[in-house]
Structure 1
Amino acid sequence: MTAEAAGSDPVIDVRGLVKRFGAKTVVDGFSIRVERGEIYGFLGPNGSGKTTTIRMLCGLLTPDAGEGTCLGLDIRTQSAAIKRQVGYMTQKFSFWEDLSIRENLDFVARMYGLPDRRRRVGDALDRLGLAERQAQLAGELSGGWKQRLALAACILHEPRLLLLDEPTAGVDPKARREFWDEIHALAETGLTVLVSTHYMDEAERCHQIAYLAYGKLMTHGTVDEVVAGSGLHTVAVSAPHLGRVAAELEGRPGVEMVAAFGTRLHVSGTDRAALDEALAPWAGRADVRVEPTGPTLEDVFIHLMNRSTDNFR
């Protein structure tokens, strides 16, 4: 969180949000508070309600129950005013592939009715490193450059809140890192960012995260708080024939998850004594190393998925 965010009024403050589509409850009793300048990550399996939640938070969808504010405005009665102050980057590239980068940005600026259009487009081109490519057709861009164009378009109207729906899907690691560096730079200016992601390394770059599973908020907080609050214990096992060891450990009392990480297994459970007992036969062997290690965010993610029930099943 930026220093400016501390002690300020929250950008988002909602309680008990519910959204139904037909007989299915997609979001069930969601409450959250987000401060100015925070990068807030939303994690969860496909169909967990992440995108629906984000759209309710900024007035793009009306909740069936619950209340709250976004940017100091009521999410039910002032949604039009909220939308004008939000930049929304969808998962699918949605710009005109037969227009150049500059032409795309100029078109977006016209749609917003922005004054001083040429300067704003030029500033966005410079900020996202697009100036040298401004004449290139959008359809010729790689995934990383399309991502930069989409982000440039989102910030043209100088929004106070930025919504990113799995923005780096299909983008190479270098482009993803550069994208996140820019997001942090924007947050330092006071822009608040909500982002949904499946990448654990991206979640770890958020100031706070929320884990949703099939409409319910399972946990939220900083990454360290979420990991510490999971109640999960993880032991790393190094041994020859890891596949055989994994097969023997699966299903033992105290062992809830077994996952291979390179040349080691992560063996996890919530009952530390039972987990140690399950691993005891291997702990004394000369060719096996058994050592406690902290659970990763991915361990916690899978643990929470295993505990949740798919309400669309």
Structure 2
Amino acid sequence: MSIVLQSVSKSFGKKEVIKDVSFSVGKGEIFGLLGPSGSGKTTLIKMIVGIEEASIGDANVLGVKMPDLKSLQKIGFMAQSDALYGELTGKENIAFFAALSGLKGKKKKERIQYVMDLVNLSEHASKRTGDYSGGMKRRLSLAIAMLHEPQILVLDEPTVGIDPILRQSIWEELENIRRTGTTIIVTTHVMDEAEKCDRIGFIREGVLIASGTPEQLKSETMSHSIEEAFLAYGGAKQ
């Protein structure tokens, strides 16, 4: 398994925000974490990428307990907040992160062009990032996360503020990346995006209330949609 969480809990002071969560994600799998804002999705993925450390339990990525500095080179992470340099152009931002990733020469140039084309930003590459719209910043952040062809790609609400046509093309590319063996974790509260995942974990108030394929979760709750299934599991826990 590429990612294994074993009985993970996380507390900030006296507040427990993640409560005994366990799940695993295999190589070449898209795993979606679905839940409302404040449910704990972002905290969970921060433990996976090593930004936060579990209070209890272990988060292992590619066989290594996180946090681990060396493992970061194998992970692409897109956070909810865009960590961009507003005074630099889009191309300057991505070139900076390419250098940090160790990309050089022809390979660096090819990857920069590829990801900028993928997120439809090539014609805006010379614009100052501070002048980008919110959706353009999200697209640039996604391009940066995918730049170094990581073995693990972790995306926190990647398509917020992105138009439906581009959102569809991004999901098509995620499917292509998955086929090459990259493991992808996506957090979302968009139900139709959850349908595109190989498996989904429902998160509510820091608890993993259910996990499985979209079809399994709908079948187990006799639901017609993922939204119905989520509400059925959520209601059962109230």
Give the match for residue 69 of structure 2: 80
Structure 1-normalised TM-score?
A: 0.69
Change in Cα spacing, 1:180 to 1:49, as seen in structure 2 (3 Å) is same
Give the match for residue 306 of structure 1: 235
Q: Deviations over 1:141-189 (max 9, x none)?
A: 4444433321221122221111111111222222221221121121122
Structure 2-normalised TM-score?
A: 0.89
State the shift of 1:68 in Å.
4.7
Within the alignment, does 1:99 sit opposite 2:28 as a pair?
Answer: no
State the shift of 1:101 in Å.
1.9
Within the alignment, does 1:11 sit opposite 2:11 as a pair?
Answer: no
Question: Which stretches in structure 1 are left out of the alignment for 5+ residues?
Answer: 1-9, 233-293
State the shift of 1:218 in Å.
0.7
Give 1:193-208 correspondences, 5 Å limit. 193-208=184-199
Within the alignment, does 1:192 sit opposite 2:192 as a pair?
Answer: no
Give SS of 2:138's match: helix
Question: Which stretches in structure 2 are left out of the alignment for 5+ residues?
Answer: none
Asked if structure 1 preserves the Cα contact closer than 8 Å seen for 2:80 and 2:157, the reply is yes
Within the alignment, does 1:110 sit opposite 2:99 as a pair?
Answer: yes
Give SS of 1:26's match: strand
What amino acid is the match of 2:204?
Answer: A
Give SS of 1:84's match: helix
Change in Cα spacing, 1:34 to 1:225, as seen in structure 2 (3 Å) is same
What amino acid is the match of 2:26?
Answer: E
Asked if structure 2 preserves the Cα contact closer than 8 Å seen for 1:144 and 1:175, the reply is no
The higher radius of gyration belongs to 1
Give SS of 1:17's match: strand
Percent identity reads: 36
Asked if structure 1 preserves the Cα contact closer than 8 Å seen for 2:138 and 2:160, the reply is no
Give 1:154-169 correspondences, 5 Å limit. 154-169=145-160
Give 1:139-288 correspondences, 5 Å limit. 139-230=130-221, 232=222
Give SS of 2:126's match: coil
What amino acid is the match of 2:83?
Answer: S
Give distance in 2, aligned partners of 1:124 and 1:38.
21
What amino acid is the match of 1:194?
Answer: I
- The structure whose RCO (Cα within 8 Å, separation 6+) is larger is 2
Kindly report the root-mean-square deviation, in angstroms, between the aligned alpha carbons of the 2 structures.
2.1
State the shift of 1:308 in Å.
3.8
What is the total number of aligned residue pairs between the two structures? 236
